[in-house]
Chains A and B, each alone.
Chain A
Amino acid sequence: MSESTNTIETFANREYKWGFVTDIESDAIPRGLNEGVIGLISAKKREPEWMLEWRLKAYRHWLTMTEPTWANIHYPPIDYQDIIYYAAPKSKKDGPKSLDEVDPELLRTYEKLGIPLQERAILAGVAVDAVFDSVSVATTFKAKLMDMGVIFGSFSEAVREHPDLVKQYLGSVVPSSDNFFAALNSAVFSDGSFCYVPKGVRCPMELSTYFRINAKDTGQFERTLIVADEGAFVSYLEGCTAPMRDTNQLHAAVVELVALDNAQIKYSTVQNWYPGDKDGKGGIYNFVTKRGACRGVNSKISWTQVETGSSITWKYPSCLLMGDNSVGEFYSVALANNYQQADTGTKMIHIGKNTTSTIVSKGISAGHGQNTYRGGVKILKSATGARNYSQCDSLLLGDKCGAHTFPYLEVRNTSSQVEHEASTSKIGEDQIFYCRQRGISTEDAVSMIVHGFCKEVFRELPMEFAVEAQKLLGVSLEGSVG
């Protein structure tokens, strides 16, 4: 095997740096799932009766459903009775009232992950909600945001403190019966973030949630709901990591976004769950339902995702373009190396007049990785003047990986325009040699090419996360950005 191929593999096989375990006493419930367990979760969160009813309804529906098999992913059957559905770091009190009361061990964990929870620290322009296993352990800048009327904090707290808002919007974009994993999430969801930006308010800082799975054999079922009222703007980012373990762990999240008239939501993800080892052992099963509804006129929802982790990714952040002139965007970089499998893409449903959507998907496959783009563009009869542009590119590193593309287009209005472009390329020995002949090392050459391939997507990320994402792909920041 030639040297360049070796270095491509080294590049693809970098070690997972976030794989440590925090030694903290955990309050977990017994394995398995039944109505009693759901009652226990609800009680631990001190939820009102209506929330428990909602969970039970979802659970009963879930029992009637079967796991979907249409995705291009392969894994042994999941034993849903062998999962722990709730785990929380044990604390003496009910929950920390302020950052000073957060267990120092947890603060150290987030410090180690590069997410300082002190408000004066590095990420001063970003408010962070830190979710550890099944609970939110801290939220920064809450008070400052509240001054502007922005509600940002843990989902559990929102259920207690803002029940009317939660009741109004929860399940309104992703109904609890939507799909197998969404129904499961609706029954057992633990924690996540809730955000409401009132009329006319431009949220003054980036909002962010950092999800960390720590406890063994647990699932994480986060629930996030973001509502931007008329004329509001919010940019939200999420990051995720987990310890290295040789058993698979399930992560089934639901994210709902609602944008009313003239509102904008920008949602960015850097997903770096533990991907399993180089032989495909361990790793997170990431089954996620993310959907945004552009309910109002001129509203806009933009999804940007950089998916580098998880052994399995099943995820299709989508937009329902209901309001006239509303805009949906999806920018994605998905990396599948070693034995990772990613089946990801988006759905853009055009309902309102003159709605537009843009899809830019970049799939990178390395090692034995299998990367699938699955995208649906649906233009309903009502969507006069709708436009869609999709671009879907695949990059292959090495010759044992695969890239697959499944675009679905359904157009029911003749005044609409739909464009789809796709390409597949491979980092070739000749490209590497050309770079080396100019003095650039193989590793830098691969970084440069991968970065060049992804730059349209990185450009969409907020600055702090663009840096993180580039580091994740082993690419230096100094680059052809801009």
Chain B
Amino acid sequence: MPLLEIKGLHATIGEREILKGIDLTVNAGEVHAIMGPNGSGKSTLAQVLAGRDLYAVTGGQVTYDGKDLLAMAPEDRAREGIFLAFQYPVEIPGVSNQYFLKAALNTQRKHRELPELDAMDFLDLIRGKIELMEMESSLLNRAVNAGFSGGEKKRNEIFQMAVLEPRLAILDETDSGLDIDALKLVAHGVNSLRGPERSMIVVTHYQRLLDYIVPDFVHVLAEGRIVKSGGKELALELERSGYAGLGIEDAEEAVGKV
């Protein structure tokens, strides 16, 4: 049984239809890259899978681990092991990063009928992950993402992922705004989390990230549909000939940047 099965997924925001029938199957342990020009619906797909209520699902089904994903509240999806690394991580002033992550981990552990961790156990657990992501410990005591640089925010997302150990990780343009050193660090974190029980959907505009996180499958999204799927070589082909080489228009570039 696949971990995730998307069939004919349609989604709208307001009056506008963004996803126009997505089909995608992700098995345990696979890494799928979703590529596509701006406005193709990549981020919408990531957000819909996480349960963002800004979007209305107007058709199709999503089965996750045998369950109807679309019927689940966002927090239940998270507790069942779905993690979204945000393109724009949100700032939460006044709530310490460490406290936030401990609260998240404990609600997930509780859901899985595991004992909740106290402060000491939690610190033991995160120590190795801090090293993995080369996180400065001061970031843990600061408010969630508040005043973090772009790179620090993205690193913090992957750090959270390392602590929460999801079964399905969705990375939404995790490479955007990162310089090459930060990109390598983030990719290293992601790669160390790859395993036979963990699947990933990596959403990106650029091939560059896929040099470091090498996917098993690549899908090209355009105008709300997957127009081409292939192995990792498809990303390289895109790199050479661009989206235009596949006859795809960049929706935003076509009408000029909004």
The interface of chain A, by Cβ under 8 A from chain B, is 2-4, 425, 428-431, 433-442, 444, 448-449, 451-453, 455, 479-480
A452 to B91 CA separation, bound complex (whole angstroms) = 13
**15 A-B pairs in the complex with CB atoms less than 8 angstroms apart:** A2-B53, A431-B92, A435-B92, A435-B104, A436-B74, A437-B50, A437-B77, A438-B100, A439-B111, A441-B75, A442-B75, A448-B100, A448-B103, A452-B143, A480-B95
- The reply on B78 being an interface residue by CB < 8 A is yes
A480 to B94 CA separation, bound complex (whole angstroms) = 9
A448 to chain B, nearest CB (A): 5
Contacting pair A436 B75 (CB below 8 A): yes
Please tell me which one of the listed residues A2, A425, A440, A453 contacts residue B107 in the complex, with CB atoms under 8 A apart.
A440
Using known A-B contacts A433-B52, A438-B160, A440-B104, determine if residue A452 contacts B90 with beta carbons closer than 8 Å: no
A425 to chain B, nearest CB (A): 7
Measured between beta carbons, the chain B residues less than 8 angstroms from A453 are 93-94
Most chain A beta-carbon neighbours within 10 Å: one of B50, B77, B78: B78
Using known A-B contacts A438-B104, A440-B103, A448-B103, determine if residue A425 contacts B95 with beta carbons closer than 8 Å: no
Measured between beta carbons, the chain A residues less than 8 angstroms from B74 are 433, 436-437
For B67-89 the 0/1 string (1 means CB < 8 A from A) is 00000011101110001101001
A382 to chain B, nearest CB (A): 38
A442 to B73 CA separation, bound complex (whole angstroms) = 10
B172 to chain A, nearest CB (A): 11
A3 to B52 CA separation, bound complex (whole angstroms) = 11
Most chain B beta-carbon neighbours within 10 Å: one of A441, A479, A480: A480
B168 to chain A, nearest CB (A): 12
A477 to chain B, nearest CB (A): 13
Please tell me which one of the listed residues B52, B77, B95, B164 contacts residue A448 in the complex, with CB atoms under 8 A apart.
B95
Most chain A beta-carbon neighbours within 10 Å: one of B89, B95, B143: B95
Measured between beta carbons, the chain B residues less than 8 angstroms from A441 are 75, 107
B80 to chain A, nearest CB (A): 9
Q: How many residues of B sit at the interface, in one of the four size bands? A: 20 to 34
A439 to B100 CA separation, bound complex (whole angstroms) = 11
A129 to B141 CA separation, bound complex (whole angstroms) = 41
Contacting pair B92 A436 (CB below 8 A): no
Using known A-B contacts A436-B78, A439-B107, A439-B108, determine if residue A431 contacts B99 with beta carbons closer than 8 Å: no
Measured between beta carbons, the chain A residues less than 8 angstroms from B52 are 433
Given contacts A435-B100, A438-B78, A448-B92, 16 further A-B contacts (CB under 8 A): A2-B53, A434-B89, A434-B92, A436-B75, A437-B50, A437-B74, A437-B77, A437-B84, A438-B164, A439-B75, A439-B107, A440-B75, A441-B75, A442-B75, A455-B94, A480-B99
- The reply on B96 being an interface residue by CB < 8 A is yes
A431 to B96 CA separation, bound complex (whole angstroms) = 14
Measured between beta carbons, the chain A residues less than 8 angstroms from B164 are 438-439
Contacting pair B107 A452 (CB below 8 A): no
Measured between beta carbons, the chain B residues less than 8 angstroms from A431 are 90-92
Measured between beta carbons, the chain A residues less than 8 angstroms from B83 are 437
A453 to B83 CA separation, bound complex (whole angstroms) = 27
Most chain A beta-carbon neighbours within 10 Å: one of B75, B96, B101: B75
Q: Which of B33-82 contact A (CB under 8 A)?
A: 50-54, 73-75, 77-79
B77 to chain A, nearest CB (A): 8
A319 to chain B, nearest CB (A): 27
Contacting pair B94 A439 (CB below 8 A): no
Contacting pair B94 A452 (CB below 8 A): yes
Measured between beta carbons, the chain A residues less than 8 angstroms from B89 are 434
Measured between beta carbons, the chain A residues less than 8 angstroms from B53 are 2-4, 433
Measured between beta carbons, the chain A residues less than 8 angstroms from B94 are 449, 451-453, 455, 480
Measured between beta carbons, the chain A residues less than 8 angstroms from B73 are 436
A438 to B85 CA separation, bound complex (whole angstroms) = 10
